[in-house]
Structure 1
Amino acid sequence: MQTVYNALINLSGIVLKSAGFFSGKLQKFTEGRKELFPKLENFCTHDQKRIWVHAASLGEFEMAVPVLKVLKEEFPDHQIVVSFFSPSGYENKKKHQYVDFFTYLPLDTPHNAQQFLEILAPEMAIFVKYDFWPNFLLELKRRKIRSFLISGVFKSSQLFFQSYGKWMQKSLQAFEHFFVQDKRSAELLKQIGFTNCTVAGDNRFDRVAAQLEGSNSIDFIETFKNDKTLFVFGSSWPADEALYIDYINKNPSTKFLIAPHEIHAEKIARLESRLKLQTVKYSEMKPEYLAKSQVFILDTIGYLGKSYSYADIAYVGGAAGNTGLHNVLEPATFGIPIITGEHIQKFPEALQLEKLAGLFKVSTASEFEKIAGKLLTDIEFRQKTGMISGHFINSNTGATRIFQEYISL
């Protein structure tokens, strides 16, 4: 099976080069890897110790940030190298305070794994969540490099747990220790002989909780809010807009901040055309209009996380349609109630919050109007719901501390 896998990986490399002509994303995938090894060699010219962290994409990188901070504290003389598999990760993270070098991960062939690790020569390797590449893992094992999995998630449907997946189980032997999110993952690993595992939780909770420690001040949002009730719509799509647009238009006494997931000019114009209240956009922001406007369209990136600190209620987009629910932990850390679309079944943290009554899912505009109206008018209900969200974050932090205690031994 390993031979078949290697043949398929080599074939995929050829296919991806051709597919790049038809897809901008696939073109970035292949073009970005062309100078991968020369760039890596150029960075690794200094005789310095290094730690390698691999994240599939941007979401997994954000999950790893608290661990990156710990690595810098525990190993100040080491360089931190982060690799991405996806262009959405690499293209959006060219610089970070805890990272010395970003790179793509080459395709998982035996030759690439050998060359990559020969050049990088890390003393430690850390994989995030579930991006397992057998040739890289087997090469890490062969070189006896300390390797860990953080925020790991295992499901019975994965190849490791199938009768024909024993060859993949061998690659897991590379990990000195597994830090997993839940008991089910630990149980699955135990079934195939791996007891070197700790249920540590999800590092994302540590990541969002750290937001409270820094400055979340944004002067233009503070001016816009003007001491009124603020409703923040984060990472929303057209399917989400269908739920809340009418409600916004009927409530001129409330402030609304909309942060669309897609900020293309034509989509922002479409959104703006549906709003009947006075609206101001970040891209055309005039300070004198901020306090007077009822709606603020955040047609830029980088401010949403801090924007939640000003919110009294949050709507998190992606679950009204099929694009996938965005991060509900970001608003929850500020202790505010959350509303989402109905499709949250694949997002455990949202399901847990809903069960605790810190999150409400809606499927229609009338359902949205009902719960939004109650949260806006019933202050005691809003505060209680927000406290549930904040407690949910606080009670689930600690995964990074468990990892730090292990590597400090």
Structure 2
Amino acid sequence: MVEIRNCLCVNYIVKISDKMILLYQFIYTIIIICCAPFILLFAAAGNKRVLERLGLSLSKEYPKNKRIWVHALSVGEVISAIPLIDAIRLEYPDKEIVLTVTTVKGLLIAKKELHEKVKIIQMPIDFWWSINRIRNYINPYCFVLVETDIWPALLNNLAQNNIKCFLVNGRISPSTFKAYKKFSFIIKPVFSKFALCMMQSEHDSKRLIETGIDQNKIITTGNIKFDRSWLPMQPQERDDLLNKLSLSAEDCIWVAGSIHKDEEKIILNVFLQLFPQFPKLRLILAPRNIEESNKILIIAQGMGLKSILKTDRDHDKNPYPVLILNTIGELSRIYGIGKIAFVGGSMVASGGHNLLEPASFGMPVLFGPYMHNFVLMSELILKEEGAIQINNENELYQSIKKLIEDDVLYDRMRKNSKNFVYKHQGAIKEVIMHIRKHVG
């Protein structure tokens, strides 16, 4: 009797879930109809991005063989997908992989890092017609979503066509958790379409369970970002990069990466205080949005700091204490020539960024108080004593000064940060094992 009651309850929930997704698709269709005149104008003008987002640029010739579909939202998710794709290729050598990416910057990184390994295409909008187009075009064996970018119509469409969906490296930030709880009536039916949600940490798994998602579909596998093949900086590559940037091996290079709006003033103020004491100190500042580069250049020059954009280095080889990295896809290797790293998005309430790239080169890593998107990662590296968390401009100044002056501390933190990266590898193996269990 209990089993019958449970079965009826499940069927009722499924019906309610399907109605919510149908309502979502109905609203989305109305929006598309209202926007149709503008869409047609852009399409008629040959706007390639509009055509791609609608799925109109996809070939009508559909593949006979099933392919593994991996999806990544933007730059961070694409970087996470790199070790995952490598592992999938080893596990399923007979299956072609298609990677879809939502943002333009993400597409640029994907094409740079993965163009020889997978087919890369723009992810269309979550409109039923566009989703049908891309599903038919890919002919998926299974669908693997990396970290985030949950689309209800897409997941519903795949589930209706008996295509197994997996969330890999899932994470739920505090703000996302609040939103999920508030709109659980939408979130539950969407997440019910996943065969399995593989989360980065117990924190993330717990939050998803508290949202009301079936705990039998949630497991903690760890963070796949650790499993990337970390290429060491070879002496020749280092020399070439230093020469390209008009820097020398004797320079003490501070790399401030993924810097958000308003953080640049903190970084530049600290550098302004340190530079007179340490004339060999150099700053490479990489803004999160390269569109901000010219503004940052003006701010730095207004403070009396000789500064240059990376794109101007080709025709100006004069020494500049401050270099602003206004290019995409170079930061990960530039960390390798640095002595000290600061990772941005952490002095403002943005949630921080990936700490693994600087740590993999054995750099002491500094970051601010706002690391809610990388809670476990920041806790682990602090525990391993490979990083310093600072709360304000003065603490940043004092920490960098101490690292420059104290060789014993610096060498210990270098060793610890590198060990931290390799110590926590292994998530990919778990992920592949669980995918294999579900789809064979």
Same fold (TM over 0.5): yes
**Partner residue in 2 for 1:236:** 259
| Cα pair 1:181 1:201 within 8 Å, conserved | yes
What does 1:42-81 correspond to in 2, within 5 Å?
Answer: 42=61, 44=62, 46-81=63-98
**Partner residue in 2 for 1:297:** 324
Gap change, CA 1:128 and 1:345, over 3 Å in 2: closer
**Partner residue in 2 for 1:226:** 249
| Cα pair 1:248 1:256 within 8 Å, conserved | no
Distance in 1, Cα, partners of 2:183 & 2:332: 44
Shift of 1:267: 2.2
Gap change, CA 1:108 and 1:237, over 3 Å in 2: same
Deviations 1:243-278 (A, max 9, x none): 232234423132332333344563254145146566
What does 1:86-165 correspond to in 2, within 5 Å?
Answer: 86-90=103-107, 93-94=110-111, 96-109=115-128, 111-154=129-172, 157=178, 159=180, 165=185
**Partner residue in 1 for 2:23:** 4
| Cα pair 1:309 1:331 within 8 Å, conserved | yes
Shift of 1:376: 0.7
Q: Sequence identity of aligned pairs in percent? A: 23
| Cα pair 2:310 2:327 within 8 Å, conserved | yes
For 2:60, give the aligned amino acid.
E
| Cα pair 2:233 2:336 within 8 Å, conserved | no
Shift of 1:312: 1.5
Gap change, CA 1:392 and 1:240, over 3 Å in 2: same
**Partner residue in 1 for 2:355:** 328
- Identify which range, 318-327 or 124-133, moves more after superposition: 318-327
For 1:49, give the aligned amino acid.
K
**Partner residue in 2 for 1:381:** 409
- Identify which range, 27-36 or 265-274, moves more after superposition: 27-36
Aligned-pair RMSD on alpha carbons? 3.5
**Partner residue in 2 for 1:306:** 333
Shift of 1:32: 4.5
- Identify which range, 129-138 or 356-365, moves more after superposition: 356-365
**Partner residue in 1 for 2:14:** none
Deviations 1:125-176 (A, max 9, x none): 11112322233223222222232211023575454x67962x6534434333
Deviations 1:169-202 (A, max 9, x none): 3443433333211224434449643424431111
Distance in 2, Cα, partners of 1:263 & 1:5: 35
Partner-residue secondary structure (3-state), 1:174: coil
Shift of 1:306: 0.9
Partner-residue secondary structure (3-state), 2:400: helix
Partner-residue secondary structure (3-state), 2:58: helix
Partner-residue secondary structure (3-state), 2:418: helix
- Identify which range, 397-406 or 268-277, moves more after superposition: 268-277
| Cα pair 2:54 2:124 within 8 Å, conserved | no
Distance in 1, Cα, partners of 2:47 & 2:392: 38
Gap change, CA 1:403 and 1:382, over 3 Å in 2: same
Match of 1:176 among 195, 206, 215: 195
**Partner residue in 2 for 1:24:** none
Distance in 1, Cα, partners of 2:412 & 2:283: 21
Shift of 1:60: 1.4
**Partner residue in 2 for 1:266:** 294
Distance in 2, Cα, partners of 1:36 & 1:247: 52
Gap change, CA 1:315 and 1:9, over 3 Å in 2: same
Gap change, CA 1:225 and 1:312, over 3 Å in 2: same
| Cα pair 1:90 1:103 within 8 Å, conserved | yes
**Partner residue in 2 for 1:204:** 225
Distance in 2, Cα, partners of 1:178 & 1:261: 29
Partner-residue secondary structure (3-state), 2:345: coil
Normalising by structure 2, report the TM-score.
0.76
**Higher relative helix content:** 2
- Identify which range, 84-93 or 253-262, moves more after superposition: 84-93
Distance in 1, Cα, partners of 2:232 & 2:252: 24
Distance in 2, Cα, partners of 1:11 & 1:241: 42
Distance in 2, Cα, partners of 1:30 & 1:11: 21
Deviations 1:339-373 (A, max 9, x none): 23443344313354345543334444332221111
Partner-residue secondary structure (3-state), 1:241: helix
Partner-residue secondary structure (3-state), 1:78: coil
Match of 2:273 among 247, 250, 260: 247
- Identify which range, 210-219 or 386-395, moves more after superposition: 210-219
Distance in 1, Cα, partners of 2:47 & 2:360: 34
Distance in 1, Cα, partners of 2:184 & 2:257: 43
| Cα pair 1:16 1:30 within 8 Å, conserved | no
User: Is 1:339 equivalent to 2:390 in the alignment?
Assistant: no
Shift of 1:204: 1.6
Gap change, CA 1:325 and 1:118, over 3 Å in 2: same
For 2:191, give the aligned amino acid.
L
Distance in 2, Cα, partners of 1:373 & 1:118: 58
Distance in 2, Cα, partners of 1:300 & 1:113: 33
Distance in 1, Cα, partners of 2:242 & 2:327: 17
Distance in 2, Cα, partners of 1:283 & 1:86: 23
**Paired positions, count:** 396
Gap change, CA 1:289 and 1:103, over 3 Å in 2: closer
For 2:97, give the aligned amino acid.
I
For 1:303, give the aligned amino acid.
E
| Cα pair 1:28 1:87 within 8 Å, conserved | no
Distance in 1, Cα, partners of 2:260 & 2:240: 24
